[in-house]
Amino acid sequence: MVLKHQKMNTQLYNRTYNVPLSFDDILKIVKSMSIQDKLKVERELENETLLFRAKKLDTKVKKNTLNMNDIVAEIEEYRIEKNGK
C-alpha cells in the first residue's frame, strides 16, 4: 500500500509568546542546533551587537593628535640618529 502525503491547508499566524528562558536554557538550545543554524545565529548576533562593539572599540582607540609637522620632525630626528651612528 502506498500512502500519499496530502498538503494541509494551513494559515500562518504571527503571534508573540513570552516564555521565560534563562541564559543556560538558550545555551542548551544553541548547542543542540546544526552548525548551519549556529552560523545563522552568529550572523544575527554580529548584526545586533555591531554598534555596541564599534562604540566600545572607539573608546579604546587612542585619538590621533599628530599633524604633518610632527611627522616630518619625527622623520628628520630618525634620519639624524641613523646617520649619526
Looking at the domain assignment, is residue 4 inside a domain?
Answer: no
State how many domains the chain has. 1
- Which residues constitute the domain of residue 29? 23-84
Name every residue whose Cβ is closer than 8 Å to that of residue 38 and which is 6 or more positions away in sequence.
Answer: 30
At 7 the pLDDT is 52
Looking at the domain assignment, is residue 55 inside a domain?
Answer: yes
Looking at the domain assignment, is residue 9 inside a domain?
Answer: no
Q: What percent of the chain has pLDDT over 70?
A: 84
Instruction: For the full predicted model, state whether its pTM sits above 0.75.
Output: no
Looking at the domain assignment, is residue 69 inside a domain?
Answer: yes
Q: What angle do CA 13, 18, 20 make, to 5 degrees?
A: 140
How many C-beta neighbours within 10 Å does residue 31 have?
8
Choice between 83 and 38, residue whose per-residue pLDDT is larger = 38
Looking at the domain assignment, is residue 2 inside a domain?
Answer: no
